[in-house]
Every structure is written in C-alpha cells, then in structure tokens.
Structure 1
C-alpha cells in the first residue's frame, strides 16, 4: 500500500462518497475512521492493508501508487488514524518514497483522548539494515522511525541514520534474519499493539505464513495490469488461510474496499 509523495497532501479522509454495499448506507469521513477501528481489548492485533487490480496485480510499473484513487486514499488515512505503529518493509519504503504519518487535528485529538501518540510511528523491517537515509521518512517524520533489524543490521543502521530507534529481533536459528514474532513482541512491549502492515508483498507473505495477520483489508482497483506484476503477498511456499468478510465498501469510481478477519 503506497505512501508516496501525493500522500502528504491528504489531510485525512477525503470528501469522496463511500457506500456500505451490504446495506446501501452512505459513510461519512467520521464514520469511516470508526469502521476501521481496532477491536477493543484485543491485545496485539495486526491488520494488513493492500491494493490490487482486477487481475491480481499489486503494482503498476513497480509501484502500488498507480492503482490508487480518492476513495482508496480515504480508507488508507482512516486505517492510519487508528494504528499505533505502521509496519513496512524497507524495499517498500524506498520504492514508494515513504513519509512519516500526517493526521488532521481532529484525529490527533481523538488519539490523544485514548492515550495514543498524535501520529502512528512507522517501523521499517530490514534484516540487513540497508536503509536509504535520503528517504523522506528519515527526514520529515514527527516521530523517529523504528528500524526492526538483525544484530548485524543494527550496526548498519547506526552508520546510515542518526536518531533512528532500533529494535533487534534476530531469528534464533537463522543469523542475520529478522524474527517477526519477536519483533511484534518488542513492539507490544513498547505499548504498540494496534499494528498496521502496509506491505510489501514479501513482508506480508512472511507474516501470513507465520499466521501473524489477524485482519486483511484489500482495495480492489477497477483496472487490469497484465504483464508480470507481483501479487499482494509472496512467499517461498503456499500458506492457505481462510478469511471472513466483515465489511465491504464501494465508491463512485468503481473501487471496492473489503475488510476480512482470519477464521
């Protein structure tokens, strides 16, 4: 799910009209944030948010940004408004030119009232620690990003970016690799329990294989891509997971927004 240069201009939910397709009810911006809130008292809860075309492509010319629309950006902003932490792979940060999260005053006040920071922190997953310090994320964020990495990667991060928060979550059997359950436990220890994963496909595939994803939100763009574009999740082996749809929205541009919980 993209956080490209255009995302900076989004003050929150846009004026795009969304409709609950199961009931026909219109959804205003305030309701949209509520519809994408996290379950109460769920403990650590990981939601993934991705976009794909009608023919299953997760990118156009290597980036997911070309698939999005106004409704998608509104849903994207609503999910960010509720998250404690945004989990994203380093490759996606580079490709999509990630920024720190930006929220309007009303959403900041809402977060403060329930004990959250004004904006969610972004946690970048990279085993090697090979992050690009020129990425806007590391220069324009209100809250210093967290870098989730291996023991060897931590030294690499320190040499590239000053001030980044580093979480070492090395796999106990595979040196130099990040162990995601350990990483999530570390985030939970910091009080970051509402987790939003924005990809990319390799990170999502690893999380799905480990059955760490509680909820999958998928925007279906009314486009086809063909070519050799990747899917929203990739992993070395298949990992069949069953889901139950709990929300289905649509907009006037033909986008569908589905929210599924793992069964």
Structure 2
C-alpha cells in the first residue's frame, strides 16, 4: 500500500497505524436490516465534479473505499443519467472480493439497479451487456416499451407519473437486495432525501478547490433538513477526508 493510499482513523477511535481492508470494512459495517447508503466525493468547496466528471475528484483512497462499499452491498443503485454520463461498465469484482462475499453469505456479485423514468438506456452498454448478474431497472408505469432493454434487464414498474422510490426499494428488498449502495447522481440523492429514504452518507472530501460552476452532490426541489450524525472521520495519506454519517 502506498503512503498516498494509506488510511488511518482520527475519530472516534483513533488508530496509530494504517487501516488494512478488514479494519476498514469494520468502519463501514453492513446493517442488520434494510439500508440505503449514499457514496459521494466532493471538493472542499462542495463541487460534485471536476471538468464535468466525478472521477476528477477521486484519488486512490476514495477509490479504495469505493471498491469496498461495492463489495459490501447487495444492490448498486444509480440514476440513468449518471450511468450514461459516467460511462458505467459492468459491476464486476476481483477474485479476492468475490471470495469475501461468498464467505460472508452474500451473492458473488452485487446487482446493478438503474432508475429511469424514460427508459432511455442503451442495452449494448457494458453495464447491461457484460453484467455478471442481470440488472434491474426501476421505471414508471407510463414508460415507453423497451423490448431490447427488457432482454438484458428486469424492468420493474413502480409509480405512475414518476418512479416511486419507496415502492422500488420495497421491491428490491423482496428480491433480497436489502443493503443498497447509491452512487447518485445528485437528482437521485435529492429524491431519496425528500422521501426520507437515506440512512447513511459516506462522503470523501478531496483536498482541492474546484471553483465555481459545478453543482452540489444533491439536487432537486427543497426538502426538510434531517439530522444525520457523524460516525467516523478517517484521513488518507493524500489529505482526503473520509466521513461516514448514519442514522
């Protein structure tokens, strides 16, 4: 592990040395019951992207936690716009992480779940065409027919004029996807917040100023403020702060 990738705990239980993967996993525990965990990276001045993409903010430590959180989840939830814009590939894990999942009673791979009211998705995109597990698409009742997409993913209709995320998450739980990791984008984060469905936020704060232009990690109509207590503060060798807030 490079010094840049090294992560140590600052609070509440400071660690004198670097956290290995098992120690890091213990800092991001799976919950006993159903849970929606958000994972985002931001700049010090609150930007959700750099030059239009979140990858510009993500360094080695953030990518390390990003990979572990994917390993820990049952379902990986993402908005259609983010899937397209960020060029998502198939959700695959290396052999070591697949072995960890199997040893802990989880399916070998997490299931990709996409939220799309319009079904404007390309079934040939690697996220669908190369998926090791058949993805799920949460959509609305009035969405246009998409037979090519239905050939590579399960289309779940929940809601009439818009995707009802409460119904969608209930369907995911029915399918055994109880621990859901959401990677955005901001509109989906805002919609989940408005519906009071966010249980946890894992936030990486990159040590840079992005300047004006980029949006925040959440977007959409205003919703009531909600308390989300801080659970830990980790510090990476490159200066990235790794925060976890949870109910």
Category of TM-score, reference length = shorter chain:
over 0.9
Q: Deviations over 1:78-101 (max 9, x none)?
A: 111110000000000001111122
Paired with 2:26 and 2:134, the residues of 1 have a C-alpha distance of: 27
Matched residue SS, 2:8: strand
Paired with 1:65 and 1:153, the residues of 2 have a C-alpha distance of: 31
- Runs of 4+ in structure 1 deviating by more than 4 angstroms, as ranges, are none
Gaps of 5+ in 2: none
Cα RMSD of the aligned pairs, angstroms, is: 1.6
1:58 corresponds to which of 24, 44, 48: 48
1:221-240 to 2 correspondences below 5 Å: 221-240=206-225
Number of paired residues?
A: 242
Preserved contact between residue 84 and residue 192 of structure 1 (Cα < 8 Å): yes
User: TM-score by structure 1 length?
Assistant: 0.87
Preserved contact between residue 87 and residue 125 of structure 1 (Cα < 8 Å): yes
Preserved contact between residue 93 and residue 135 of structure 1 (Cα < 8 Å): no
Pair 1:31 & 2:23 matched: yes
Pair 1:165 & 2:154 matched: yes
Cα offset, 1:259, TM superposition: 0.3
Matched residue SS, 2:90: coil
Cα offset, 1:59, TM superposition: 0.9
Paired with 2:127 and 2:216, the residues of 1 have a C-alpha distance of: 25
Do the aligned partners of residues 259 and 197 (structure 1) sit closer, same or farther apart at CA in structure 2, a change above 3 Å counting?
A: same
1:71-150 to 2 correspondences below 5 Å: 71-150=61-140
Gaps of 5+ in 1: 1-13
Name 1:199's counterpart in structure 2: 184
User: TM-score by structure 2 length?
Assistant: 0.92
Cα offset, 1:160, TM superposition: 4.0
1:183 corresponds to which of 168, 182, 189: 168
Paired with 2:175 and 2:43, the residues of 1 have a C-alpha distance of: 36
